[in-house]
Amino acid sequence: MRVYLHSRTWFVYFIMVIAILMSIRHPVLILIGLESGLLWWKILGRKLRIAHIFAALFLLGALAVANPLTSSNGATILFYLNGRAFTAEALAYGLLFGAVLVVTLLWCVILSELMTTDRWLNVCGRRFRKTGLVLTMVFRFFPLFTKQWHRIREGQEALEGGSPVGLKATFRMTKRELLCMLTWSLEHGFVTADAMLARGYGAAKRTFFNRETYKAASIGVAIALLAAFTAVITLAIRGGMEAEIYPYVRIHMDGVMDIIGFAAFFLLCHIPMISGKVLREERRMRS
């Protein structure tokens, strides 16, 4: 049960990266986020498929085109569409926002991949024991209930002699499935509650089976992450790394504050990847 980085450190790491990406929408930061995200992708053993690239490009393009249709902020009007101004700056903003979305989605997938159920439980830890228990039960019951939903669907289809045809029939079928699911889950819950009681639930104050240890490395990494994060945020507040789109596109890239900010974010993203032990552990977990 040797663990190298505490779950809370991981959690904080992801929150920081995603928060920075979403709030400071600067193209260079997005590029850094993309690069480190793809690196994580490789470490976790996932392959970058063509479908992903196509989907990402589609998202980018769709947002780039959709944004000017809804927002007319921006000084350079290209043409008027149905009375609404279609500005070049809105196009640029759509592109930027699409990039932010794609990279954030990438990081969210990495988050869900790295934060296994064990890790989520340890984030709750000793302090939020009840939440931890609820979380673990959710992780248990969610796949179970989905499986049961499929079974119910099959059972109903078997009864009716086939899948429903037409909107009304589908609606009726879904209603029936829902009712069935509700009752079933209630009954299921009763038995589970009994099982929990049988195993002493409520006898005493619950303890938390702690499988992770706070090594000095975790604390050190957490401090480093915090330092990088505060660096980026303070630089952003003080005016560095500005990427204004409205009313005119002004992207700052050459100031001292900008460069330091980029470096700090680069560091933030790559800190957990520095240690070989962490990487080996992740690979081992997923082999």
Nearer to other proteins, 36 or 67 (CB): 67
Four-point Cα dihedral 236, 239, 242, 246, nearest 10: 120
Can residue 62 be called a binding residue for other proteins (CB under 8 A)? yes
Return the amino acid letter for 222.
Answer: A
Listing DSSP states for 242-273 in one string gives -EE-SSS-EE--SSHHHHHHHHHHHHHHHHHH
Closest distance between other proteins and the C-beta of residue 10, in Å? 14
Nearer to other proteins, 203 or 216 (CB): 203
Can residue 158 be called a binding residue for other proteins (CB under 8 A)? yes
Can residue 168 be called a binding residue for other proteins (CB under 8 A)? no
Angle at 22 between CA 81 and CA 264, to 5 degrees: 130
- Nearest residue to 73 (alpha-carbon basis) of 252, 253, 239, 249: 249
Measured CA to CA, the distance from residue 52 to residue 49 in angstroms comes to: 5
Closest distance between other proteins and the C-beta of residue 116, in Å? 8
Q: Which of 130, 168, 191, 287 binds other proteins (CB under 8 A)?
A: 191
Report in angstroms the alpha-carbon separations of 255 from 206, 270, 274. 55, 23, 28
Q: Which of 35, 39, 44, 157 binds other proteins (CB under 8 A)?
A: 157
Applying CB under 8 A, the site for other proteins has a residue count of: 89
Q: Which of 2, 127, 130, 162 binds other proteins (CB under 8 A)?
A: 162
**Which pair of structure tokens corresponds to residue 37?**
């995200």
Q: Which of 39, 180, 217, 273 binds other proteins (CB under 8 A)?
A: 180
Residue 249 has phi, psi (to 5 degrees) of -75, 115
Backbone dihedral region of 83: left (phi > 0), alpha (psi from -120 to 50 degrees) or beta? left
What is the footprint of other proteins within residues 22-61 (CB under 8 A)? 22, 49-52, 54-55, 57-58, 61
Measured CA to CA, the distance from residue 153 to residue 280 in angstroms comes to: 42
Can residue 169 be called a binding residue for other proteins (CB under 8 A)? no
Closest distance between other proteins and the C-beta of residue 160, in Å? 7
Can residue 197 be called a binding residue for other proteins (CB under 8 A)? yes
**Which pair of structure tokens corresponds to residue 233?**
């945020």
Report in angstroms the alpha-carbon separations of 67 from 91, 94, 106, 244. 6, 5, 21, 16
Can residue 76 be called a binding residue for other proteins (CB under 8 A)? yes
Closest distance between other proteins and the C-beta of residue 53, in Å? 8
Closest distance between other proteins and the C-beta of residue 83, in Å? 4
Q: Which of 27, 41, 71, 164 binds other proteins (CB under 8 A)?
A: 71
Q: Which of 27, 31, 113, 259 binds other proteins (CB under 8 A)?
A: 113
Q: Which of 12, 31, 43, 118 binds other proteins (CB under 8 A)?
A: 118
What is the footprint of other proteins within residues 83-112 (CB under 8 A)? 83, 85, 97, 101, 104-105, 108-109, 111-112
Q: How far is CA 3 from the centre of its chain?
A: 23
